A and B are shown apart, each in its own frame.
Chain A
Amino acid sequence: MALVGRALLVLALLVCVYGIVASLYGARTGRQGWVDSGRRSVYALSGVAVIAFAILVGAFLRNDFSYNVVAQASSTTTPTAYKAAAVWSTQQGSLLLWILLLSFWSSLILFLSRRRAREIAPYATAILLGFGLFFTTLTTFFANPFATTSNPPTEGTGLDPLLRHTTMMMHPPLLYSGYTMLTIPFAFAVAALITKRTGAEWIALTRRFALAAWLCLGVGIMLGARWSYVELGWGGYWAWDPVENAALIPWLLATAFLHSIMIQEKRGMLRVWNMSLILATGCSAIVGTFLVRSGILSSIHAFVSDPTLNISFVALIGILVAGSVFLVIWRRPLLRSEARLDSLLSREAVFLFQNMVLVALALVVFWITFFPLISEAITGTRVSVGPPAFEPFVVPLALILVLLAGVGPILAWRRVTLAGLRRSFAFPGAVGIGALAVLLSTVGTVHLFAVVLFVCSSFVLAVVVQEFWRGVRARHAMAGESPPVAVVALVRRNRRRYGGYIVHAGLAVLLVGVAASTSFKHSRYATLRPGQSAAIGGYTIKYVRPTVAASSQRISLGAVLQVYKGSQRVARLQSAYEMYPSQDPSLGPIGRFFSGSTDSHIGLNSGPLRDIWTDVDPCAGGGSSSCLGPLQPQINRANAQMEKALTEIGKLPAAEQRRLLSSSSPLWAARNARIVKILSLYTRHPWPVTFLMIVSPLVMWLWIGGLIMVCGALISLRPALALSRVRARAADFVSSGRGARGLPVREPA
């Protein structure tokens, strides 16, 4: 089926070319048939991509190592679920996934807008297919996932052990969904500029996609953080890695866009800003994709550098940026604001300020992330940057942002009187001051960042509680509803507003987790023998006994630990150092099982107040230059014996060789028994091993905050029904000829 796959890629490429031509021709001549045909090209691209992707997944699932990508990223021992996920662990497969998601989301928006945006849609179709053409060209000519070999290996290299985690199965598709969905408002914005249709329609059509993209990127980032925390063996969740930052930049810009677009919708203001923002967001999505693909910046997530791909991406980004700047300048007269700020004490003024902070944050992250490349281009020396380079800029901006997340909801649109402001600030302000007093008396000023962030977060939470309380009280006064019914009705009827408030509350909770877990974290390395203990953060962690495990996928050396608070046992933890077999024959038939990729199985006891996190490294305490020093002599001896046996078998007739080397041969059972015997040395004669131990408070609230944000975003995503009802009723009023009765009617006081 590889041939069909390759042919489908060519077909996808032709469909893109045809669709672009048909859409543009239809738009220029006004012939709807060609426009419809162009739109159908996107649906067809989606169908072709689904079939091609299914063929590739099928090859992974049936271990077809004649496909180069399958041999690179899968093996017979890789669990089935991870075999499917291994598709996007390769450069080629992930590019195909990009095409699949791009065509799927593009089909969705074009289907939803098939009877609307008649002038904009054909150009948007052409731009979306332009992205499709770029990626299909890459997969067809430079990174073909259907490339095969005539001499396939009997076993694949296997999926990188670090990627064998549930979150990693969902993280890339979510990030790619975010990136691809951001191309939709980008395409419609460009089309609106080309057609001079810069009114409200393109925003109404694509706002929900921008929000969905924001949600997908946010969830993807959170899953990546969780993966880092439980899989990477360093105990952190954010390392300012270039690829992490590549997802954060469009997320920050999309956050700014989602807020500022409300100002345009309501007041007709900030048109140039919004247009520039969404174009920058679209460009940053492609930059993010480029960073992952190119490997130009050192990252654990990046693929291997490919000069052809890099040049293609740089050319695309150059065209996108130059084209965007040109279009905004060209159409600037059409983007004049319809109104001015009535007052600095208004929600739109806070949104504007918040937008500037978000864009500044995105620029800071972008500049520092790319600083190694910039410094190399200027001085010839690549400077490496880490978290300390980000913190002096990001921390103050983040604090302002949290504060604004509380101030924004308090203020009304257009203007607020000072009396109203005092009323609105009284409760949240008191909560913030109360929190400050409590924190200063307990924590002091040593951890100033954490104290300020706690105060800001409590202010935001108080604002959200107050907003809900006021809304419920209004509904109770108006309709006599009980508080629970009033809350549900309030949210249902104002999903966008209250969904947004819930997102703000989630952000506050998340940042409480971040502030506490970074400022009050206890971390230490301890080299222990069984029975020995180490103290950390008020706990005593005892190394009880070593453990070993062997399966067809991996072997592991681990440790059982008991955690005590005083004399009371609070948790039992199990960490392990896992080794996956290498396919390198030079390591020996036994040695290759101890010399492949490795990962950590961390011991974690998580609670609402604190996490206790441990990782074991049996190598560091081995007392030898070799990682598994104490086991090495046994491994060498077993290698020699096994090689001798294999050499003897090689001298036998071919039929006898096949029998002795078949999978059911006792030779392999003997090999496995020998591996287990070598492993047992670790439990019979345990050597000192090194543990990384971390006690962090409130980490769980980081994940809970993220979940709250997701809930808020999902609520905001749903106004479709309510809005369609509004629209239907309004249309009904208008068509019934009852004049201005289409306006919302005031409720009785």
Chain B
Amino acid sequence: MEFLIFLAILAAVVVFVTRPLWRPLAETTKSEPAPSEATDVADLEAARDAKFREIRDAELDHRTGKLSQEDFELIDRSLRAEAVQILRDLDRVRGAPARPEDPEAAAHADRIPSGAERLPSP
């Protein structure tokens, strides 16, 4: 009985672990992007999320009186420029059309009229 139990577990483990090897090679390579490209995108997405958080943090610092108006404007402008750069890099990696190159436009990206839902703010 004990032998049979172990045999059943062994069979289940072998089937479960080796199952991905049964798929044809083309199936895995066709549907998913190359690892390097995917990792670039993931890295940039993580950097973008961190930058968005930083923008919101700066805004919260400003609203709670930790940053003066001048400091906030300086920091916010630089953060948004950095974020635009990350978004451009993301577009480049994904093969999408490039974002506007004009730094002035990037610096004032927040003023683009938006009917869309806003991101979490303070």
Contacts and interface: CB of A to CB of B under 8 A. Distances in A.
A471 B120 CA distance: 14
A475 interface: yes
Most buried by A among B36, B42, B118: B42
Nearest to A468: B64
Interface string B50-81: 10111111111101111110010001100010
A734 B2 contact: no
Contacts of B63: 470-471, 474, 477-478
A117 B40 CA distance: 9
Interface string A31-49: 1111011001101100110
A43 B59 CA distance: 43
A733 B116 contact: yes
A467 B110 contact: no
Interface stretch (A378-386, A418-426, A685-693): A418-426
A729 interface: yes
A62 interface: no
Nearest to B80: A743
B92 interface: no
A564 interface: no
Contacts of B25: 31, 33
Interface residues of B, number: 73
A689 B60 CA distance: 63
B9 A116 contact: no
B95 interface: no
Given A120-B39, A743-B109, A3 B2 contact: yes
Interface in A31-89: 31-34, 36-37, 40-41, 43-44, 47-48, 51
A7 interface: yes
A726 B17 contact: no
A15 B17 contact: yes
Contacts of A490: 122
Contacts of B38: 116, 118
B36 A497 contact: no
A37 B21 contact: yes
Given A118-B35, A474-B63, A742 B120 contact: no
A748 B99 CA distance: 25
A741 interface: yes
A344 B16 CA distance: 55
Contacts of A7: 6
Interface in A176-222: 195, 197, 199-201, 203-204
A120 B38 CA distance: 11
Contacts of A392: none
Given A118-B38, A744-B55, A471 B122 contact: yes
A8 interface: yes
A201 B39 contact: yes
A266 interface: yes
B13 A44 contact: yes
A482 B59 CA distance: 21
B46 A200 contact: yes
A118 B31 CA distance: 14
Contacts of A733: 116
A565 B109 CA distance: 70
30 contacts: A3-B6, A33-B23, A37-B17, A44-B13, A117-B39, A195-B39, A197-B39, A200-B50, A412-B61, A412-B71, A413-B58, A413-B75, A414-B58, A415-B75, A420-B66, A424-B66, A470-B65, A473-B64, A475-B122, A490-B122, A493-B121, A497-B57, A726-B119, A726-B120, A727-B45, A734-B91, A734-B96, A743-B110, A744-B121, A747-B122
Given A11-B13, A743-B109, 17 more contacts: A4-B5, A7-B6, A19-B17, A32-B29, A33-B20, A37-B18, A37-B20, A44-B13, A119-B35, A119-B36, A201-B46, A412-B61, A473-B64, A478-B121, A741-B109, A743-B55, A743-B84
